[in-house]
Amino acid sequence: MIPLAVDAMGGDFAPRNIIEGTGLALDSQPRIGPVFLVGDQAQIEAELERIGRVDDDRIKIVHSEQVVGMTESPAAAIRSKPDSSIAMAVDLVKKGQAMAMVSAGHTGAAVASSVLKLRPLPGIERPAIATVFPGPRKQFLMLDAGASVDCRSQHLAQFAVMGEIYSRYILNIDNPRVALLNIGEEASKGNEQVKEAHHLLESLRKRGLNFVGNIQGSNMFDDLCDVLVCDGFVGNITLKCSEGTARFISNFLNQYLRKNWCRRLGALLSRNAFRDLKAIADQSEYGGAPLLGVNGICIIGHGSSCSNAVANALRVAGEAVEQQISQHILERMSELQIGNRKS
């Protein structure tokens, strides 16, 4: 059995969606349990009542009075709310009562708490959030999506290894193609950080990493890589820029497809194509983004996670435990001869 800690108070629709999602996960994942729901006991009990799971012995409530608000600074939240639902969920992992934690709450607080309490993996100097992007034929993993915004080149090389392992063991890609997000394809392109990272990754390629070179933002979705590496600042902006562009197009079409009856009829007849697009862009199937590089497993869900997304985050947390992701990262670091020496 895989015990998990779940921040029941994190996310725009918490605790309702979190509890519902936990229920779904328990139904479909018999290996998971117990699930420690961390948060306001009364609210959690009310939600369990609603979904008829008050007596589920795979669920345990851990009462927490404090919740980190979405606008708080992570550092201040960690200091002033030592008993927040996020912090206490991480504590359960630290104490070994849970083998992984899931939160759809404050990303910065979840990252800061995890790094502080669980500590980085040996040889990893910066943690990274790995996020799944949709692709035409298959999805790809991008990291870092925002955990480490000030990086040096060796941190990008460490991200590459962590992404490779996650892609292989969780997304089941055989020999993941690892690429560097850059402004040109040639090795000479980019800023100093990325040019150096290219050089490091080139040397890792000789030791067995399937490094395929630079990829530009314009070719991100062209199925040229399985793992796309960048620092947390660039990654977060890229993630949000693609969301913003998609929303701009969607809003535009929404408006312009209503302009006259002819377009309205056309939109009605072709609506299933838009439904298909929405389905492929839907992140809820991917089950949250793992924080990689800390000594323990932490899965971060989107603030607006629906219950299905929460259930998938629990599933992924269970898989990451079973697949011993951290162990594989350490082995791969040693195999590729990177780590402590560069600290």
Q: Which residues lie near its own copies (CB under 8 A)? A: 71, 73, 136, 146, 149-150, 181-183, 186, 188, 190-192, 194, 216-222, 230-234, 236-249, 251-253, 256-257, 259, 262-263, 265-274, 276-277, 280
Residue nearer to its own copies on the CB measure, 167 or 193:
193
Shortest spacing between CB 282 and its own copies, in angstroms? 13
Residue nearer to its own copies on the CB measure, 43 or 216:
216
Rounded Cα–Cα distance for residues 102 and 179 (Å): 28
Strand order in the sheet with 2-7: 59-63, 32-39, 2-7, 100-103, 297-300, 289-292, 128-133, 140-143, 227-229, 178-181, 211-215
Place of tokens 């629990």: 314
Residue nearer to its own copies on the CB measure, 238 or 307:
238
Residue nearer to its own copies on the CB measure, 25 or 229:
229
Residue nearer to its own copies on the CB measure, 57 or 268:
268
Rounded Cα–Cα distance for residues 227 and 333 (Å): 16
Shortest spacing between CB 40 and its own copies, in angstroms? 27
Contact 184, 310 (CB under 8 A): no
Shortest spacing between CB 14 and its own copies, in angstroms? 21
Shortest spacing between CB 13 and its own copies, in angstroms? 19
Contacts of 77 (CB under 8 A, 6+ apart): 68, 69, 84, 106, 108, 109, 112
Shortest spacing between CB 219 and its own copies, in angstroms? 6
Shortest spacing between CB 102 and its own copies, in angstroms? 23
Structure tokens at 145: 């999506």
Contacts of 65 (CB under 8 A, 6+ apart): 40, 83
Alpha-carbon Rg for the chain in angstroms:
21
Residue nearer to its own copies on the CB measure, 4 or 181:
181
